Structure 1
Amino acid sequence: METNKSINMGYVTAVSVIAALGGLLFGYDTAVISGTVSQVSHQFGLNTMQSGWYVGCALIGSIIGVIFSGKLSDTIGRKHTMIISAVLFIASAVGCALSGSLNELVIWRMVGGAGIGIVSVVCPLYISEVSPAAHRGRLVATYQLAVTIGFLAAYLMNFYLLNQSHGYSSANPTMQRIFGTEVWRGMLGFGALPAILYFLVSFFLSESPRWLLVKSRDKAAQQVFSKIYRNQKDVSFQINETKQMLQAQAGQKTSWKIMFQPGFRKAVFIGCAIAMLGQFMGVNAVLYYGPSIFETSGLSSGDSLFYQSLIGTVNMVTTILAMLIIDKVGRKKLVYVGVSGMIASLVLIGVYFLFGSQLEWSNIFLLACFLAYIFFTAGSISAVIFVFLSEMYPTKVRGLAMSVATLSLWIGTYLIGQLTPWMLETLTPSGTFFLFAGMCIPYMLIVWKLMPETAGKSLEEIERFWQKKNA
């Protein structure tokens, strides 16, 4: 029913960009760790498993944040949940920069991890609920773009601060530690600046109109929909569509009961499967341990951080490309093409570590393979995962259902963060990347056989699809 002329794209884009700032913090806080692992490990004398714990501790916080985020956002609203996440990011960045021991550092990293877990649920969820169907994929992908910008910002900041630290001198002992002798503190602490910005602009957001309808605040919902649609008929249509779906679930008093109806239960299981499998296809291993992997191939720490910055650039640019085509091409086609390219790239990286490390131009070949892998990953599974998860579930329990699926994502991310050093050491780099390539196959089969194409469909139409599958 909606048309481009009836949609106030300026407003929708503005609120989507504000919500997507949570993704920028997600990306920065996740990727900044890659430039600090070797410094922190050296300073505190960490062994391989302890280094894995330093990386993985924030993911424990993320899992905790995910567990509470769905219920929290369904109870107090999407907007106020985002504000809480901003406070956690600010506290974490400041705490990490000033921490006096490894235990304090781990605790503050877990606080930041809780913020990551919350925004990974509530930000794409909010964008999905305010987006018109024809533009929802692109707008939700704005969140993923912000994540990649956060990745790139972290890589560039790590590279810049590391170079600046060599000649840095300050009479203030705290500043000397943060930006000189223990520059990893500056890398982690810089995240406070975008977190403060996110905290301030979140107050300008309207609440999700679909959440307002769940809470029977029809007048407030109508006011928000009126900002999204210029045509009053479209406003009435969206309100009636959502209320019809809510009335169909009116007899079920518990959120868990609705979520585990046979049709919706299948959607939850599929979401959990693709969320977890996606982490075992290697992307976070590259993002977390990229500099360490490059150093294994003989690069200096400075060169490895520069290579990682190139990876971050490709990640961001490819995400922009995916944003432009996701609503036209569809989610599933992006997965088919992208995952096929990921398999080829991962196999070539594995072959390099078997045979190619002593060849001329071997470092250039390795970089090219990594860049190709990131290109195909950013254009497929990274672009569609939060789109899929934000639109698969019924309105009444969307926050809770998405938190369950996102919990699977973070469990997989934690396991990868914890196990990658062990896999690189035990399975060797070649065996590790061959394993990642093998994990791509079940992911593609699930999307092919079990997932519907959701491009261009309203959230209510997708909800009816799962109901029909049950019937």
Structure 2
Amino acid sequence: MRIPTNNHTVSQQNGMYLYMVCFVAALGGFLFGFDTAVISGTIGLVKQDFVLNSVSEGWYVSCALLGCIVGVSCAGKLSDKYGRKNVLIISAVLFLVSAIGCMFAQSFAALILFRLVGGLGIGVASMVSPLYISEFAPSQLRGMMVSLYQLALTIGIVLAYFTNAYLADNASAVYASESLNSILHTEVWRAMLGLGAVPAFIFLVCLFIVPESPRWLLLKGQEQKAEMILTKIEGAEKARQEILAFKLQRNIKEAPLALLFTPVYRRALWIGLLLPFLSQVCGINAVIYYGPRILEQAGFTLNAALGGQVTIGLVNVVFTFVAIFTVDKWGRRPLLFLGVGGVVASLIIIGTLFALGITSGPWILLFILAFIACFAFSFGPVCWVVIAEIFPNAIRGKAMALATLSLWIGNFLVGQLTPVMLESLGSAWTFWLFALCCAPAIWLTSKRIPETKGRSLEDIEAFWRSNHKG
């Protein structure tokens, strides 16, 4: 099922402006990835310094998730009321406060508090950054631009692994300054967590030089400002066409979330809830965070960051480029079909290898990397693209928050249940269950998700109104 397209070009000058704005917004994804992954290198060190039991250790790792859920829950309403840019500024401040606070925390309670603050920032950025990019980018480049968010996220994960490894390897140096000695030598976890302040500060400064979302401005009746921004992106003629299309919509004012539950948009709601959830229950975070443990069960000794986590992270980055360069050429559905099929097949094969005891040699690692690669060009970026473009203008912020909350619920379930499944069911059944859980995404792509390549957000909204019985 495909929505007809209207292709147009963007000049080189306008393209530079577009890339600059989308790059700044994508830094929210970088901070999301960095803050999420940096925790892996600090667990043992924090546990030792604060003498944590297993319950406290689990709370240290998972407390940011509570902040994420609260952040996502508030971000939709705030971004609809105060603007996408202003809420992104709030997220940058939260990241900055969290990084500095964690670096200088003098008690475990203070450390948890600042991790919760960081979780708020993650929750806000995970929703508003792709939303802002989708509303800013022209239709024929929207998939690529939103995929930049996922790319930045994967780069943030890899950089966190690299910096953790570097700081750990160089922690033997002794410094004259007592503060530096504590941060870089005796309690190096402080440097690992505090390093996030650098990109957070860059993100905060850059946000002051980018404009507000033009569609949010139109929603608020600020047509002149919106036209100026759209003209910079696509030229005067196309800007006027975009504004006219927006005005012709039935719902051009803010609407309650209940609009999403009407028959017209119910299909979009199901896509927005199911696709993010299924993207998480495939077990991507289980592989990223519990990868060393899984590989250890297969006979590997990949405990060093550069041996295990960084390898997985680099594959994640490289194959995200596949989506960036193809999502607006091939479309959303082909990438999802190919990628999700590869994810399911890889999971089944990995489980079978464990079940048959074929754990020597490179096969387990190769198919784990195949799983990561398939996720990286499909589920990872395309999920953000789809949920950022399928909702109507009047409630896009609130609806995007709901979809992102579904993603975090799936994330939470996988994070909490994976250790239990590995211990009680074993690796084979763990991977088979992941395959079973995410397989419905193939049906969802085939029967429910329309092809939105090259369509304006207004055209997609008109499609739902004209096909709500489909």
TM-score (norm 1): 0.93
Cα 1:300–1:97 change in 2 (3 A) is farther
How many Å separate the matches in 2 of 1:33 and 1:201?
26
What residue identity is the alignment partner of 2:117? Answer: V
What is residue 329 of structure 2 aligned with on the other side?
A: 328
Cα 1:52–1:422 change in 2 (3 A) is farther
Q: Which range moves more in the overlay, 415-424 or 461-470?
A: 415-424
SS of corresponding position for 1:262: coil
How many Å separate the matches in 1 of 2:368 and 2:154?
16
What is residue 141 of structure 2 aligned with on the other side?
A: 135
What is residue 3 of structure 2 aligned with on the other side?
A: none
What is residue 380 of structure 1 aligned with on the other side?
A: 378
TM-score (norm 2): 0.93
Counterpart among 183, 186, 208 of residue 188 in structure 2: 183
Counterpart among 197, 209, 214 of residue 209 in structure 1: 214
Unaligned runs of 5+ in 1: none
What residue identity is the alignment partner of 1:200? Answer: V
Kindly, what percent of the aligned residue pairs are identical?
45
Deviation, 1:169, is 1.7
1:271-323, Cα deviation, whole Å (9 max, x unpaired): 11111121110111122222343445555575355321011111111111210
Cα 1:188–1:466 change in 2 (3 A) is same
What is residue 313 of structure 1 aligned with on the other side?
A: 314
How many Å separate the matches in 2 of 1:171 and 1:39?
22
Counterpart among 409, 414, 417 of residue 416 in structure 1: 414
1:23 pairs with 2:40: no
How many Å separate the matches in 2 of 1:429 and 1:45?
31
How many Å separate the matches in 1 of 2:103 and 2:53?
22
How many Å separate the matches in 1 of 2:443 and 2:330?
19
SS of corresponding position for 1:4: coil
Deviation, 1:448, is 1.4
| Superposition RMSD in Å | 2.1
What residue identity is the alignment partner of 2:326? Answer: I
What residue identity is the alignment partner of 1:110? Answer: L
1:438 pairs with 2:436: yes
SS of corresponding position for 1:470: coil
1:229 pairs with 2:234: yes
Cα 1:249–1:357 change in 2 (3 A) is same
What is residue 341 of structure 1 aligned with on the other side?
A: 342
What residue identity is the alignment partner of 1:284? Answer: N
What residue identity is the alignment partner of 2:342? Answer: G
Contact 2:254/2:394 (8 A) holds in 1: no
1:196 pairs with 2:198: no
How many Å separate the matches in 2 of 1:49 and 1:365?
35
SS of corresponding position for 2:265: helix
Deviation, 1:51, is 3.9
SS of corresponding position for 1:460: helix
Aligned residue pairs total 463
How many Å separate the matches in 1 of 2:294 and 2:138?
42
What residue identity is the alignment partner of 1:141? Answer: S
Deviation, 1:44, is 4.5
Unaligned runs of 5+ in 2: 1-5
1:406-446, Cα deviation, whole Å (9 max, x unpaired): 11111111222222222222222332222111112112211
How many Å separate the matches in 2 of 1:426 and 1:101?
35
What is residue 249 of structure 1 aligned with on the other side?
A: 251
> What pairs up with 1:79-228 in 2 under 5 angstroms?
79-165=85-171, 167-228=172-233
How many Å separate the matches in 2 of 1:40 and 1:449?
48
Contact 2:50/2:108 (8 A) holds in 1: yes
Contact 1:15/1:205 (8 A) holds in 2: yes
Contact 1:35/1:291 (8 A) holds in 2: no
SS of corresponding position for 2:452: coil
Contact 2:174/2:185 (8 A) holds in 1: yes
Structure ranking higher in helix proportion? 1
What residue identity is the alignment partner of 1:168? Answer: A
Deviation, 1:401, is 0.7
Cα 1:179–1:254 change in 2 (3 A) is same
What is residue 55 of structure 1 aligned with on the other side?
A: 61
Contact 1:34/1:291 (8 A) holds in 2: no
Cα 1:437–1:310 change in 2 (3 A) is same
What residue identity is the alignment partner of 2:71? Answer: G
SS of corresponding position for 1:315: helix
Contact 1:49/1:421 (8 A) holds in 2: no
Cα 1:335–1:57 change in 2 (3 A) is same
What residue identity is the alignment partner of 1:65? Answer: G
